Every structure is written in C-alpha cells, then in structure tokens.
Chains A and B, each alone.
Chain A
Amino acid sequence: MTKRFALGIFDDEDVLLHAVENVREAGVKIYEVFTPFPIHGMDDALGIERSRLPIAAFFFGLTGLSFALWMQIYMLGFDWPMIIGGKPHIALPSFIPVSFELTVLFCCHGMVITFYTISKLYPRWKTPVLDVRSTDDKFVVAIEVNENTDMTKLTQLLRDNGASEVNQKEMSKF
C-alpha cells in the first residue's frame, strides 16, 4: 500500500518539540517523528501511550524464575540427588543465585526479542527511511496526507513552527 507523507524537516530538537505540540494542537495528526537520537519529552508531546513492555518483562522474569527453580529442584532433588556440603538436597538458599541469574537472563532476552518483533526489526526486514538525513543531524516530522489535504496550509503550519523545509514523499512499504 502506498502512502504519501508531508515531511517537515527541523534543525533543532527544542524547536521540534514545540512544533510537535503546536501541530497537534492545530488538529493535525502526526504519523511519526524520526530523530537521530531519543528526545526527552517527545513521547508526551506526541501523545504516545506507554509501552506495555514492562508487563511482558514481568512474565518473562517469572518464567525464568520458575524454570530455574524447577530445574534445580528436579535435578538436585529428584533426578540425581547428591549431598553437597552436608546440605539437604533441596537447599533453597543455594538456588537463589542461579534463580536470580536465570530470571534476569529470561527477562532481558525476552524483552529484546519482544521489542524487536513489535518494532519490526527482525532480520531481513527493510526499514523504510523517509529522509536519510534523519539518521544524521535532521529531525523529521512525518504527516500522512491524501488528495484532500490542503498542502499550502500544512506547509505554512510547519514553516511557522520552525521547519527549515517541507517535502513530500511516497512510500510503498508502510
């Protein structure tokens, strides 16, 4: 599906933040903002809802913890019981370091994999770049447009809010 975008190019992140606020206040829906680095406060300015990744993280952690405890209790308690240091077979304090590490391991890997998947960053995925300069020193505000959009008005709005240029681009992979 092909989509058309109006791209407002900005040179400064402070200007950009205000512009995003003002553009949204003017009733224009912003598709996405592309920046070379994360900008503090941008999520709020764009009105993006908080990620639910922490909930996933909690359950990944819980999975890791359960797996670690099951593994150690089963292996050392039932499958091949051994006496180590005169402790009982199932000696919980000695399981805690391993349980902690596996919790963290599952949590981290699960989170990275989940994040990449929902961000469509898995291998062989071609990431469409609207303006290559957004990977260098420019800040790009992308606004989806169609035939009915008043481009002069939109261009004026972006320019008034400090955009150094306003371009249009069609993208087929969105």
Chain B
Amino acid sequence: MATLTHHESVTAEYLEVSPNARKKFIMIIVAGVVVLAVGLLLSALGIGAEHHEGAAAAHEATSHGAGPAAGHHGSPAWLKRLIVSLWHNNVFFTGVSAIGTVFMAIQYVAYAGWSVLIKRINEALSAWLIPGLILMIGIFAISLINHDIFHWTMPGIMDEGSENYDHIIAGKAGFLNLPFYLIRMVLFLGLWAFFTKRLRDLSLAEDLNGGTEYFHKSINVSALFLVIYAVSSPIAAWDWVMSVDTHWFSTMFGWYVFASWWVSGIAAVTLCTILLKQAGYLRWVKEGHLHDLGKFMFGFSIFWTYVWFSQFMLIWYANLPEESVYFNQRLGGFDGRYTWMFFGNLVINFVFPFLVLMTRDAKRQMIMLKIVSIAILIGHWSDFYLMLMPGTMKAENGFIIEIGTALIFLGAFLLLMTKRLSQASLVPVHHPFLDESVHHTT
C-alpha cells in the first residue's frame, strides 16, 4: 500500500565505477586472454586430442548425411574452436543484453510499478546490442572463410551439379541465403538497438523534465518494440543457432532460445541489483523487489524446462530419423561426450533453481538469489554451448578456449554495462510510478 509508510523523499543516486572495479573487469578480460592463449596453444599442439579417432568414427555414425567430405571444413581445430566460441558467446551475450529492453518494455505496457527502481539496470543491460551487432557481422564474415559455423554457406551447396550439392539445404535457399541472412541480422539487431536507444532517451528526458508525457510515449514505443521483438527473436534463433544444424528443424526452437535468453537476462538483472545493493547503492530496493525477481527466475526456469521438454518429448516420441539426430548427437553421440552436459543442463537450469527458490524465504535472501542467478547464467551459457557445439565442432569440442572467450566477453560486457549505469541516476527520479516502487511490498 503506497500510503502505508511515511514519506521519505527519493533522490537521484549516481553510481561511481571505482577505478578498482574497472581494474577488476579488465583483469577478467586479461584472465580470459590468458586462458584463451593456453587453450589455443594446447589445441594447436594437439594435447587432449587423443579422442579424435574414436570420436571421428562416432561422427560418421551419427552424421546427418552431409558426408565426410562436406562435413569437415577447412580451418584447423583450434581456429575453428575459436571462431565457434566467439559466435557462441556473442549470441549468448547479445541475446541476454536484448532482454534488458524486453523486460523494461513489458513492465511499461503492463503499467507495472514495482520494477521502476531496477529500470536503469535493464537499460544498462542492453548496452551490448550495438557492439554485439558489429561483432556478429565480423564473426560471421570470418566464419565464411572456411565455413566454420554454417554448413549452408558452403559454395555450391545449393547448385545442382556441384559436388557440394545438398538437396535438403537447396530447398531452404529462399531463406538461408547470404543477402537475406545479413539483412535479417542487421535489421533485427538494429531495430532492437534503435528501440533501446529510444526508450533510454525518453527515460533520460523524463529525468530532466518530469511529467507523464514521456511515460505515455514509452508505453507506445514499448508496445511497438514487443511486437517487433516477438516476431524477430524466433527468427533470430533460427538464424543464429538453429541454422547450424542445417538439415534439422524444430518448431519449438524460437521459444526455446528465447526462454534461455529471457531467464538469463532476469538472472543478470537480479545479480546486478544484488551486487549494487551490496555495494551500498539502490537503497530503496527492498526485499519485496528481490522477491519479485526471484519469482521471475523461479517461474521462467520452469518455463524454459517446459519448452525444452516439449521439444524433446515430441522428437523422442515420434523418433523420426531426421529429427532425432539432434538428440542422438547430444545423448550418447560422439562417444557420449555431450551426455553429461545434456543432463547437467537440466539439473542446473531446472532442478537447482526449482528446489532452491521454492520457498518464500529463499527468494528474499540475497545470498540464495546470488547463487541461483550465477548458476542460471552458467547453466544457460552451457545450454547455448550444447545447442551450437555438436553441430559445429562435432567431436572436437573443448572448454578452455570457450571459457577464455567467455571471460573476455564478460569483462567487456561489464565494462560497458557499468559505464552505461554510471551515466544516469540509478533512480529514475521523475518516473510516475516511482513512489509505488519505493513502497512496494510483497
């Protein structure tokens, strides 16, 4: 109840990113570079490659008809791993970044008041969209040299008579062709970034001038953005993730990827809120807000599982070869090298958040939320790993290069996000629902 507690005036609050914190983020990047270098060196020297013989045989057994000649592309394993893991991390971080704006837009169109105090964190989360777009174009261009990520980019794969000709892939030429693919990539990320910028500008103008005009404009912008996002995010999921397994398709895939991004985005916002609070900021954020974020994480972990299982069960039950090859590769394929991740994925993304966040008290304690949000972020990073690696690296996947790349992305992401956070007051002082958020109780 808004009038329950006596009035305390809410003032602007500015985040100062201390040089120490910035140094920490740079250290994360440096650590990433070191891990990456070690990984590349080990991979180039062929250490840990003893599995290759057996694994290659397993690949033959489960390969979906592309044939050994077409199935293996040019780059050496270490380079291919680097390119694929760059793509993997960029898809994950860019998707999570977009969730900041999606979350905020949903709060706007729902006239939600509670989330006003964490709105700036959502705005900051979306800071990665433009770098994400640039990186995505760059990595895609690099991947074209040896066709490391996308099998459908092979020259002649859609021309009848060519030795690379693949009948099934040729049937998808109307959608999976370079110009259209690139247009979609730029259009989607460009639109997401444009709406992010628009909402941010409105929000900053509101801070300066006050009034409800900006709020109403933001609602219109959000509604439009949500419609666009709803259409573009599943297509983005097909493009960036599903087209790796070019022969395979799943109608659940768009939702599946969105669910993964969405729950990770909420976990990222929660984690950021808690870290800021523990650093002494956001003093109006109370247990009630954390409780709501906890409920979101709990609920959408279950939602992700629901979508995951819906996809799995239909394919498992029908057991059509062209569909079940996807799970065949992940469950026991390539000498079972992905099997532990397959089950670990369910444990960390469903069982763990489900059991830990079940009680009300757990959702109101920072330490519990912190553990679960970190677990969810790692879990969904692995989820994307599991979506991309079997289709690209087959039996040559690894973790050192991938973790190194992830650390570099994480450090850069945090640098950019904290920079955006520090550029405006952490409290949107003139938001019409600010008072409601300050007095929010659950």
Is A116 in contact with chain B by the CB < 8 A criterion? no
Q: How large is the interface on B (under 10, 10 to 19, 20 to 34, 35 or more residues)?
A: 10 to 19
State how many angstroms separate the Cβ of B354 from the closest Cβ of chain A.
12
Give the size of the chain A interface in residues (CB under 8 angstroms): 17
Quick check: A85 and B317 within 8 Å, CB to CB?
yes
In the bound complex, CA of A129 to CA of B411 (Å): 63
Q: How far does the Cβ of B383 sit from chain A's closest Cβ, in whole Å?
A: 19
A to B contact number (C-beta, < 8 Å): 31
Chain A residues contacting B181 (CB-CB under 8 Å) are none
For the residues of A in contact with B, the DSSP-based class is helix
A94: Cβ under 8 A from any B Cβ: yes
Residues 76-104 of A contacting B (Cβ, < 8 Å):
85-87, 93-94, 96-97
Find out whether the CB atom of A96 lies under 8 angstroms from the CB atom of B319.
no
Instruction: Check A54–B317 contact: CB distance below 8 A.
Output: no
Question: B9 — which chain A residues lie within 8 A by C-beta?
Answer: none
The reply to whether the CB of A50 lies closer than 8 angstroms to some CB of chain B is yes
Interface residues of A in 39-97 (CB under 8 A from B): 39-41, 44-45, 50, 54, 58, 85-87, 93-94, 96-97
Q: Are A40's CB and B1's CB within 8 A? A: yes
**CB-defined contacts of B360 to chain A, threshold 8 Å:** 50, 54
Q: Determine how close the nearest CB of chain A comes to the CB of B236; give it in whole angstroms.
A: 29
Residues of B within 8 A of A40 (CB): 1, 441
B4 at the interface (CB under 8 A from A): yes
Cα of A157 to Cα of B265 in the assembled complex, Å:
51
Contact A17 B1 (CB under 8 A): yes
B313 near A96 (CB under 8 angstroms)? yes
Q: How far is the CB of B100 from chain A (nearest CB, A)?
A: 29
Residue of A nearest to B310 (CB): A97
B312 part of interface (Cβ distance < 8 Å): yes
Contact of A14 with B by CB under 8 A: yes
Report whether A85 and B313 are in contact in the complex, using a CB–CB cutoff of 8 Å. Answer: no
**How far in angstroms is the closest Cβ of chain A from B252?**
15
**Minimum C-beta distance from A91 to chain B (A):** 9
- A40 nearest CB across to chain B (Å): 5
Q: Does B316 contact A (CB under 8 A)?
A: yes
Query: What is the chain A residue whose CB lies nearest that of B439?
Result: A41
B363 CB to nearest chain A CB (Å): 12
Which residue, of B1, B312, B313, B358, has the highest number of chain A Cβ atoms within 10 A? B1
User: Would you give the shortest CB distance from B415 to chain A, in whole angstroms?
Assistant: 41
Q: How far is the CA of A14 from the CA of B1 in the complex (A)?
A: 8
Given A40-B441, A58-B358: A85 touches B4 (CB 8 Å cut-off): no
A93 pairs with B1, CB closer than 8 A: no
B309 contacts partner chain A, Cβ-Cβ < 8 Å: yes
Q: A14-B3, A41-B1 are in contact. Are A96 and B359 (CB under 8 A)?
A: no
Further pairs besides A17-B1, A93-B312, A97-B313: 20, Cβ < 8 Å = A14-B1, A14-B3, A17-B4, A39-B1, A40-B1, A41-B1, A41-B4, A44-B441, A50-B360, A54-B359, A54-B360, A58-B358, A85-B317, A86-B319, A87-B317, A93-B313, A93-B317, A94-B317, A96-B309, A96-B313
